[in-house]
Amino acid sequence: MLNEHTEPQGGEVVAVSALTSAAPGATMFALRRVTLDMLRKTFVYDELTNTIREYGISDRIENLTDGEAAAIAGFGSINTLRNRLAQAGSGEISRKYEKDAEDVYRIRRCLTARRRH
């Protein structure tokens, strides 16, 4: 979360803004309970935590935005998520996986922006 990064360094979060798509829930920054529950139903918590750490997405599931969490939940299984992340990293994405690749790209882009601030 933005405040977990900013406040320990002496900053204060007063507002958040971003350009986003018109996808449902795309403007929701905070991880909603319903989305977290969806992740917990879909994945083994420790496996998902290790995977998102390994691929540099986030250190904790709870630090994901709602959009990131929803995109991850959409993969449906830990193996599918890992395969898509590996394919995105190696550039081996076919047209069939173009939508998934966009989701992975968006997740990684969000993370990269977090690291810069």
- Give the tens place of pLDDT for each residue, 1-43: 556 667 777 877 776 665 555 555 555 678 899 999 999 999 9
Q: What is the pTM of this model?
A: 0.59
Cα 117 to Cα 6: distance, rounded to the nearest angstrom: 8
For the record, the structure tokens of 107 come out as 């997740």
- DSSP secondary-structure letter at 65? -
